[in-house]
Structure 1
Amino acid sequence: MLSFATKVYIKQSPCLVRFYAITHQKTKVVQTTDEALQGVGSNIVLLSGGFGLSGVPDTVINAMVNKPEIKNVTAVSNNAGLDGRGLSQLLVTGQITKMISSYIGGNRTFEKLYLTGQIDLELTPQGNLAERVRAGAAGIPGFYSPTGVGTWLEEGKLPVRYDSTGEKVLKTSEPREVREFNGKKYLLEPAIFGDVAVIKAFKADTLGNCWFRGAARNFNSVMGRNAKLTIVEAENIVEPGDIEPEDVHLPSIYVDRVIKSTTPKDIEIYKHTEDDNTSDSSLENPKSDAELKRAKIVRRAAQEFTDGSFANLGIGMPTLAPNYLPKGISVTLQSENGILGLGPYPKKGEEDADLINAGKETVTLAPGASLFGSEESFGMIRSGKIDLTILGGLQVAANGDLANWGLPGRVKGMGGAMDLVSNPQNTRVVVVMEHVDKKGRPKILEQCQFPLTGQKCVSRIITDLAVFDIIDEKLVLIEIDPSSSIEEIKAKTGAKFEISPNLKTIDI
């Protein structure tokens, strides 16, 4: 309560009245989830932050389960968490009838409902997803993106809904308008406009200013800017001024309600470094043919890094390549969930739920690292700031087409792969994979048979038998494994290739 003297002074000083009103704004903190969700009903577009299990607003999502007034929801999220966690719960209850996501991942509930025709799924490349939300937040109805040119995204062939058997596609995506700028094709992507956003912050003040910790900013900051109603669950609620102005990642103008987070943070995949040894034992001492092939590919891939470069690595074998960097080579690794400057895996007991990579594995930060949102991460990627990306592959065509995200009847989603290969003029794309599949069929073909990730985007292919370059849309053999032969490679390659006059043996 104000003292008598203060009241008199305020009465005589109108400027002080205005200042007092500014510094004593109404709190946005609510005490219960019922208050947080007040007015949230059916037929909404729901934006949910998080990547894997990192930064997922579980407290608010848990409270939405079985609320009968919240139904027929279109949910926008990179993925839907895991079985029993995150948005997956609203899939089980039938409250979500459509997902707009880039990746199903290991969520069996999500996959089953999609493949048995119980929900719609609008698959969207991860970078386009972030940018569609960012555009909606900025009042921009659409934009042109290089991601997905020449793929099912452009052609309108992405399965949106299956029949109950999962064998027949009942509904497909809308074809994209194509336009050419400076001799390059782009697709028109519609913005996403949300009704309600639920996000998670490490710290929020009572006015709604938010600070995100580690890589948990991911989709949280961009989704928090978009919706008509933004609900923040915060691990820590502080007073105004406790977050430095330059540390505010999401300004209070975007936030409507703040509630205390009461759910523990989980880690999806634990990966560790023991005694500063980051190598994989199966690569050091391969005991099977599969391990030997993997070791050859990873060690050869490590030679692709150049000193001072920026690189993005796909999940699986590519993430192991930095363990075998040549001496004197320094590389900055980027992860599309918002990290530039990935360090090694943590030691046991030092894991941090807010520090994961694109494969949802625990990581650390290298000295000089920086953190940002997914929308900025993919801006770096599309604009060609990343010098090198190493990806796995299902099939590569002789002209450089890549297929690495879907098989017939096994559509998991493209994640960020389409974005990563969208600017091959500036980002060198190297694919690592076994030369043949488990049935002995060639994976290097004249034309890809599986849905494309990108057209004419691959520069180099590294397999357990050989290294090929793709030059002017022609396949050229440049290196051969010492245990192989030209005859074997011809027999196991489903495309014609030239042999470099400077053909050499792979040296690892």
Structure 2
Amino acid sequence: MNWPSFGRRWLSCTARNLKAFEKVVTPEEAVSGIEKDITLLCGGFGLSGVPDTLIDALKSRTQVTGITAVSNNAGTANSGLSKLLETGQIRKMIASYIGGNKVFESLYLTGKLELELTPQGTLAERCRAGGAGIPAFYVPAGVGTWVETGELPVRYGDSGQIVEFSKPKEVRQFDGRRYIMERAIFGDVAFIKAYKVDSMGNCYFRMAARNFNNAFGRAAKYTVVEAENIVEPGEIDPADVHLPGIYVDRIIQSTAEKKIEIVTVSDGRNKNDISTTPPADFNSSEARRARIIRRASKEFRDGEFANLGIGMPTLAPSFLSDDVHIVLQSENGILGLGPYPVPGAEDPDLINAGKETVTVNAGGSFFGSEESFAMIRSGRINMTMLGAMQVSQFGDLANWALPGMVKGMGGAMDLVANPSKTRVVVVMDLVDKKGRPKILESCVFPLTGPKCVSRIITDLAVFDVDPALGLTLIEVAEGISVDEIKSKVQASFKVSPHLSTMNID
């Protein structure tokens, strides 16, 4: 056989036959065969990478009801899955976070919507496993919490009483550690959004918009991609294909407006211009906040990878000393997180875990949520810093729910689930707004993780925490006595022989 001649004929045949793999249809055609009572996986994080064009198309098919929707959250009013919540097409949500979505919260608390709360990393891994043909797996996130014990409210009655709780999880020990068994999720339908897709279904996701889209696209019987740009085969470099076309059944052109949930910009000031000294009023909220942030900045160690919670933790790197260099990770898929953008440079595909606009530093990288939490779960993140409602004397952390108010745990349970490898630093006021202690013998609020906190930084004092020995007071704010600290802590503690004044310079 003449191989060069055969090769030319094969290439010609292949080019012609590519049309057999073309999957581009209208939104109406893409959803026309979808029936009720499906499990729908919907990509996106906040408003980034949300397939709104597909959601709008499904919204018009009002006969498609009884949906179990799987997504990190449900967007906001008039965006994301909130549209299907408003029409009553969703019966149940599997999510990690309610957040400030009032529609979601109201339907849940009045018994019109079931909710299976799942730690964010576990949610991503459940879908990754489903797409990989793995029926179940074990994770540390949620051990010792309502996730394990089956105390999460699944369904409320119309008068506000809880009528159904989650089921307890199977627990096993591996190498001396306890793990929860989680079942994989494999959906009937997946809606995902890509920046670019070729007509064979090969997808390229832009920056942090990859989030859950990558894993969800692999984990359904029928996957539809909404793309901003539809191109011919070969126009995406094979090395840039994040989701191969084998997983994709249909493609539509995205027409929905790209939105930003929280526009946050830099004011152009350098770190030395920001709160150089706490306000004169020692007890003002601004002064307390400044002390905590400045003291927290001393926790970073040169060369570390760190993950920061929303609020005060995100401000702490502004006060890093010049000889300390760190790499920040955001669990929605960014390593090498940079500062807020300058006005006009905001990008809807570049947000942090708090849904704020950000930038990425040179040497940074993007990846899916499933890989982000693999980094966290395996202990590649050296430190996580986050806020708290309560901490116990042995390091139990409560920061995701209050009695009668459940917003969701997001990624917090994942972040504190490996304290032997990831240092957990808590920043908070020593007492709450009513003057009640936040450091207790035992947490009253639902736990985020047991015996996970290693250091507590407050406005008046700093404590080290040992899971067996308890609390040690190591620093106090200037002018604060040990007796005053004792009056504001509802747990016993030792005083370090090297007790010092908090360093906020």
Work out whether the TM-score is over 0.5.
yes
Identity over aligned pairs, percent: 62
Equivalent positions of 1:406-445 (< 5 A) are 406-445=401-440
Distance, in Å, in 2 between the alignment partners of 1:97 and 1:282 is 48
Letter of the structure 2 residue corresponding to residue 258 of structure 1: I
Structure 1 range deviating more: 276-285 or 24-33: 276-285
The equivalent residue for 2:483 is 487
What is the TM-score when the length of structure 2 is the normalising length? 0.96
Q: Does 1:83 align with 2:77?
A: yes
**What's the RMSD between the two structures over aligned residues?**
1.7
Which of 147, 151, 169 aligns to 2:145? It is 151
Distance, in Å, in 2 between the alignment partners of 1:217 and 1:287 is 46
Letter of the structure 2 residue corresponding to residue 372 of structure 1: F
Q: Does 1:501 align with 2:493?
A: no
Distance, in Å, in 2 between the alignment partners of 1:206 and 1:435 is 57
The equivalent residue for 1:3 is none
Alpha-carbon shift at residue 332 of structure 1 (Å) = 0.1
| Contact residue 278 and residue 344 of structure 1 kept, 8 A | no
| Contact residue 197 and residue 224 of structure 1 kept, 8 A | yes
Q: Does 1:174 align with 2:167?
A: yes
Structure 1 range deviating more: 279-288 or 185-194: 279-288
Alpha-carbon shift at residue 473 of structure 1 (Å) = 3.8
Alpha-carbon shift at residue 27 of structure 1 (Å) = 4.5
Alpha-carbon shift at residue 284 of structure 1 (Å) = 5.8
Structure 1: 5+ residue stretches without partners: 1-8
Equivalent positions of 1:149-228 (< 5 A) are 149-166=143-160, 168-228=161-221
| Contact residue 208 and residue 258 of structure 1 kept, 8 A | yes
Cα 1:280/1:435, change in 2 over 3 Å: farther
Cα 1:247/1:456, change in 2 over 3 Å: same
Equivalent positions of 1:71-470 (< 5 A) are 71-166=65-160, 168-277=161-270, 286=279, 289-470=284-465
| Contact residue 297 and residue 463 of structure 1 kept, 8 A | yes
| Contact residue 28 and residue 256 of structure 1 kept, 8 A | no
Which of 57, 66, 69 aligns to 2:51? It is 57
| Contact residue 279 and residue 320 of structure 1 kept, 8 A | no
Letter of the structure 2 residue corresponding to residue 30 of structure 1: V
| Contact residue 283 and residue 292 of structure 1 kept, 8 A | no
Structure 2: 5+ residue stretches without partners: none
Measured against aligned partners, the alpha-carbon deviations of 1:220-239 in whole angstroms (never above 9, x if no partner) come to 00000110000000000111
Cα 1:271/1:87, change in 2 over 3 Å: same
Cα 1:431/1:285, change in 2 over 3 Å: closer
Aligned residues: 498
The equivalent residue for 1:45 is 39
Measured against aligned partners, the alpha-carbon deviations of 1:135-191 in whole angstroms (never above 9, x if no partner) come to 00000000000111000000000000111232x211111110000000000000000
What is the TM-score when the length of structure 1 is the normalising length? 0.95
Cα 1:70/1:368, change in 2 over 3 Å: same
Q: SS of the counterpart of 2:318?
A: helix
| Contact residue 93 and residue 114 of structure 2 kept, 8 A | yes
Letter of the structure 1 residue corresponding to residue 14 of structure 2: I
| Contact residue 216 and residue 355 of structure 1 kept, 8 A | yes
Distance, in Å, in 1 between the alignment partners of 2:313 and 2:411 is 15
Cα 1:53/1:282, change in 2 over 3 Å: farther
Cα 1:45/1:21, change in 2 over 3 Å: farther
The equivalent residue for 2:26 is 32
**Runs of 4 or more consecutive aligned structure 1 residues displaced over 2 Å after TM superposition:** 12-24, 26-31, 274-288
